[in-house]
């Protein structure tokens, strides 16, 4: 049920992001989604890729610090209020979103949202009760 995201520490230096994507390209890794959170000095790049192990090995070889985080990938319907359907029940039961980012599902019109929750197990439970589709890691890699 859970998906694994890799995160990379990068300093805010010109061209650093492009270096990361070039390393992944050379390792034949496909990036599904990406989000960059940054401060004045540094940023954390979060990635969903088709092959975590290959990506991690390639980045570490180039001296990057790579972390792994459990996230939930949720399909959000392409209609008004689609995101609220997901967030409202979670919010009611005090599950908080630490961060989220989205990408389009290449197989249909829906969007896939990547969520990091403060309580991932509770979030999973609530989403299951509400019949909201959570995409597992394997399916995500295969998209």
Partner 1 sequence: MPIFDIDFETMPREGLEAIQLRRLQTTLERIYATVPFYKETYDKAGIKPTDIKSLDDLRRLPFTTKQDLRDNYPYAMFAVPMEQIVRIHASSGTTGKPTVVGYTKRDIATWAELMARSMSAAGATNGDIIHNAWGYGLFTGGLGAHYGAERLGASVIPVSGGNTKRQITIMQDFKPTILCGTPSYILHLAEVADEMGVDFKDLYFKSGIFGAEPWTEEMRQELEAKCNLKAVDIYGLSEVIGPGVSIECVEEQKGLHVFEDHFIVEVVDPDTLEPLPYGEPGELVFTSITKEAFPVIRYRTKDITSLNPTPCTCGRTHVRMNKPTGRTDDMLIIRGVNVFPSQIESVLMETREVAPHYQLEVDRIDNLDTLTVKVEIDETSFSDDIKGLQAMEAKLSHDIKEHLGVSARVALVEPKTIERSQGKAVRVIDNRKL
Task: Return residues touching partner 1 (CB under 8 A).
Answer: 5, 7, 9-11, 37-39, 41-42, 44, 46, 63-67, 69, 98, 116
Q: Cα angle at 137 between 136 and 139, to 5 degrees?
A: 70
**Phi and psi, residue 28, nearest 5°:** 65, 35
- In the complex, the smallest distance separating the C-beta of residue 110 from partner 1, rounded to whole angstroms, is 25
User: Whose Cβ is closer to partner 1: residue 11's or residue 14's?
Assistant: 11
- In the complex, the smallest distance separating the C-beta of residue 39 from partner 1, rounded to whole angstroms, is 6
28 to 23, 36, 68, 99, 143: CA distances (angstroms): 9, 21, 20, 28, 16
User: Whose Cβ is closer to partner 1: residue 9's or residue 84's?
Assistant: 9
- In the complex, the smallest distance separating the C-beta of residue 69 from partner 1, rounded to whole angstroms, is 5
User: Whose Cβ is closer to partner 1: residue 70's or residue 110's?
Assistant: 70
d(CA 112, CA 89): 18
34 to 14, 94, 114: CA distances (angstroms): 18, 27, 10
User: Whose Cβ is closer to partner 1: residue 30's or residue 65's?
Assistant: 65
């Amino acid at each position: 049920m859970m998906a694994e995201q890799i995160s990379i520490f990068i300093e805010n230096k010109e061209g650093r992001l492009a270096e990361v994507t070039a390393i992944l390209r050379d390792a034949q890794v496909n990036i599904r989604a990406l989000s960059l959170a940054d401060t004045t000095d540094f940023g954390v790049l979060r990635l969903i890729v088709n092959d975590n192990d290959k990506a991690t090995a390639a980045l570490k070889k180039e001296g990057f610090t790579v972390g792994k985080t459990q996230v939930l990938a949720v399909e959000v319907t392409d209609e008004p209020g689609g995101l609220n359907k997901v967030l409202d029940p979670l919010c009611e039961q005090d599950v908080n979103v630490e961060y989220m980012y989205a990408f389009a599902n290449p197989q249909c019109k829906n969007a896939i949202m990547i969520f990091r929750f403060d309580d991932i197990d509770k979030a999973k439970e609530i989403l299951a009760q509400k019949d909201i589709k959570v995409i597992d890691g394997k399916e995500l890699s295969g998209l």
